[in-house]
Amino acid sequence: MNKNAIIFDEIVDKRRAYRVFDAEFKLPESVVKNSLERAIKSPSSSNMQLWEFYRIKSKEAVQEVAKICLNQSGAKTASEIVVFVARPDLWKERQAVHLKRLEKVETKNVKNKLFGSSELSYFSEVIPQFYKSSFPLIRDFFKCIYVWNKSRKGPFMQDVYSKHIPVVTQKSTALAAQTFMLSIIAEGFDSLPMEGLDSKRMKKFLKLPKSAEINMAIAVGKGMPDGLRGSRFRIPYEEVVFTI
């Protein structure tokens, strides 16, 4: 095993969900900032990066968000709470950024095997076909016909309907959340992912539109020894990994 793999093993092994933090400890500013910068480098579907991250820093705001997180001890004692939000509604803004980026790319019109078309046509034509939300039933009907016809000739992407849009953006946002938590451990501190929260009140607190979706809130701080819920338990490798 090489040196990098050993270091990564240590980071993964140290990441635990701490349910109590040192409430008096002040987390260095750079810890969360560095970790969010790393989270932004996470992969996302079509590189659309339909996510936002909200840092809850002041003591008053942390306590308010802790209530929204059902008064979990980890939330109440955290130095900071970061809320990860999926934003499928921002697809036009992200698309515009890509189209502007492609203005300077010489190969923008060259057919790309990864896209099945040129990168320019992918972002200008394919992306809207997936993310447009107007008349979803009608759009899904025509997509169904298109997918059926394409899949008759061989494997073809099936998850292209309106119901899949929030799923895709949640997956990408969750990848960023995991990168963030691993980074927090690498920085020498601890975290707690929280799905147990009032998403409606969280969206109201963050002043988010109805179309935004809360992915999770992550409490960050200096974990206390009594903050761990027993030893780590995982289903054995042989029961979850299958070789074909």
pLDDT tier, 157 (very low <50, low <70, confident <90, very high otherwise)? confident
219, two tokens = 């409490």
pLDDT tier, 225 (very low <50, low <70, confident <90, very high otherwise)? very high
Output 156 or 2, whichever has higher pLDDT.
2
Task: Determine whether 218 is exposed, middle or buried from the number of CB atoms within 10 Å of its CB (0-12, 13-18, 19+).
Answer: buried
112 pLDDT exceeds 80?
A: no
Kindly state the helix (H) or strand (E) to which residue 94 belongs, with its residue range: helix 91-102
What CATH number is given for 16-226 in this structure?
3.40.109.10
- pLDDT attached to residue 134: 86
What is the model's pTM?
A: 0.93
- Tell me 122's DSSP state: I
SS (H, E, C) 183-228: HHHHCCCEEEEECCCCHHHHHHHCCCCCCCEEEEEEEEECECHHHC
How confident is the model over 53-69, as pLDDT tens digits?
999 999 999 999 999 99
> What string of DSSP letters covers 167-187?
HHHHHHHHHHHHHHHHHHHHT
- pLDDT attached to residue 117: 84
Domain ranges of the chain: 16-226
pLDDT, average across residues 201-206: 98
CA distance 21 to 195: 18
HSE toward the beta carbon, residue 57, CA cutoff 13 A: 10
pLDDT tier, 161 (very low <50, low <70, confident <90, very high otherwise)? confident
The 3-state DSSP composition of the chain as helix, strand, coil percent (nearest 5) reads 50, 15, 35
Smallest Cα–Cα separation from 72: which of 19, 27, 23? 19
